[in-house]
Structure 1
Amino acid sequence: MLQESYRVLDKLRKPHGLYIASPSKFYKYVWIRDNVYISLPFVNKDNEWYEKTYFRLLDLFREYEWKIDILLEHKPKWVWEYIHARYSADEVKEIHDEAWGHVQHDMIGAFLFGIGLGIQHDKEMIRDQKDLDILQKLVYYLQNVEYWHDPDNGMWEEWREIHASSLGACLAGLKSIDKIVDVPSKLIDSGFKSLFELYPRESADKSIDLAQLSLIYPYRIINGLMGEVIVSRVEELLLRENGVIRYEGDSYYSTLEQKHGREKPREFYKGSEAEWCFGLPWLALCHLELGHIEKASEYVQKTEQIMIEPGLLPELYYSGTQIPNPNTPLGWSCSMYILAKEALAKRTVHV
Structure 2
Amino acid sequence: MKSLHQILDTMRLPNGAYVASPSRDYSYVWIRDVCYTVLPYLTQPCDRYERAYHALFDLFRRYEWKIDIHTTKKPQHLYEYIHARYDKNLVEIDQPWGHAQNDAIGLFLWGVAQGVRHGKPVLRDQNDQVIVEKLVRYLGCVEYWQHADNGMWEENMEVHASSVGACVSGLQAVRLLADVPLEWIERGKQTLQRLLPFESDTKEVDLALLSLIYPHQVVDRQMAHTILERVAEGLERKRGVIRYKNDQYYYAGAEAEWCFGFPWLGLCWCWLGDHRQAQKYMDKTCSILPADGCLPELYIGGTDCPNGNTPLAWGVAMTMLLLNQVQNQGLSQAG
Fold conserved between structures, TM > 0.5: yes
Q: CA deviation at 1:135?
A: 0.3
Q: Residue deviations 1:229-275, cap 9 Å, x none? A: 0000000000000000000000001115xxxxxxxxxxxxxxx1000
Cα distance in structure 2, aligned partners of 1:310 and 1:347: 25
Cα distance in structure 1, aligned partners of 2:6 and 2:104: 25
Residues 109 and 173, structure 1, Cα contact 8 Å, conserved in 2: yes
Q: CA deviation at 1:347?
A: 2.3
Q: CA deviation at 1:187?
A: 1.0
1:282 aligns with 2:281: no
Residues 223 and 290, structure 1, Cα contact 8 Å, conserved in 2: no
What is the DSSP-based 3-state SS (H/G/I as helix, E as strand, rest coil) of the residue aligned with 2:38? helix
Runs of 4 or more consecutive aligned structure 1 residues displaced over 2 Å after TM superposition: 347-351
Q: CA deviation at 1:8?
A: 1.0
Partner of 2:10: 11
Partner of 1:95: 93
| Same amino acid, percent of matched pairs | 49
Partner of 1:135: 132
Cα distance in structure 1, aligned partners of 2:134 and 2:266: 35
Cα distance in structure 2, aligned partners of 1:325 and 1:310: 16
1:182 aligns with 2:179: yes
Paired amino acid for 1:334? V
Q: CA deviation at 1:170?
A: 0.5
1:34 aligns with 2:16: no
Cα distance in structure 2, aligned partners of 1:113 and 1:348: 29
Partner of 1:193: 190
Paired amino acid for 2:4? S
Cα distance in structure 1, aligned partners of 2:264 and 2:292: 18
Cα distance in structure 2, aligned partners of 1:342 and 1:310: 19
Query: Under a length normalisation based on structure 2, what TM-score does the superposition of the two structures give?
Result: 0.98
Residues 32 and 86, structure 1, Cα contact 8 Å, conserved in 2: yes
1:309 aligns with 2:307: no
Partner of 2:247: 250
Query: Under a length normalisation based on structure 1, what TM-score does the superposition of the two structures give?
Result: 0.93
Partner of 2:58: 59
1:206 aligns with 2:188: no
Cα distance in structure 1, aligned partners of 2:117 and 2:251: 40
Cα distance in structure 1, aligned partners of 2:308 and 2:181: 44
Residues 313 and 329, structure 1, Cα contact 8 Å, conserved in 2: yes
Cα distance in structure 2, aligned partners of 1:253 and 1:349: 40
1:109 aligns with 2:106: yes
Q: CA deviation at 1:296?
A: 0.7
Paired amino acid for 2:69? I
Cα distance in structure 1, aligned partners of 2:3 and 2:158: 38
Cα distance in structure 2, aligned partners of 1:229 and 1:346: 27
Partner of 2:213: 216
Cα distance in structure 1, aligned partners of 2:268 and 2:330: 15
What is the DSSP-based 3-state SS (H/G/I as helix, E as strand, rest coil) of the residue aligned with 1:300? helix
1:273 to 251, 255, 275: 255
1:340 aligns with 2:312: no
Q: CA deviation at 1:349?
A: 2.4
Cα distance in structure 2, aligned partners of 1:69 and 1:119: 24
Cα distance in structure 2, aligned partners of 1:160 and 1:344: 37
Partner of 2:46: 47
Partner of 1:297: 279
Partner of 1:263: none
Q: Residue deviations 1:60-112, cap 9 Å, x none? A: 101100111111231111111110000001x110001x210000000000100
Partner of 1:259: none
What is the DSSP-based 3-state SS (H/G/I as helix, E as strand, rest coil) of the residue aligned with 2:144? coil
Paired amino acid for 2:36? Y
Paired amino acid for 1:196? Q
Cα distance in structure 2, aligned partners of 1:216 and 1:227: 6
Aligned length: 333
Cα distance in structure 1, aligned partners of 2:258 and 2:308: 13
Residues 21 and 27, structure 1, Cα contact 8 Å, conserved in 2: yes
Cα distance in structure 2, aligned partners of 1:45 and 1:301: 24
Cα distance in structure 1, aligned partners of 2:329 and 2:212: 21
1:320 to 302, 305, 308: 302
Consecutive unaligned residues of structure 2, counting only runs of 5 or more, are none
Residues 16 and 52, structure 1, Cα contact 8 Å, conserved in 2: yes
Residues 254 and 274, structure 1, Cα contact 8 Å, conserved in 2: yes
Q: CA deviation at 1:160?
A: 0.3
Paired amino acid for 1:144? C
Paired amino acid for 1:217? Y
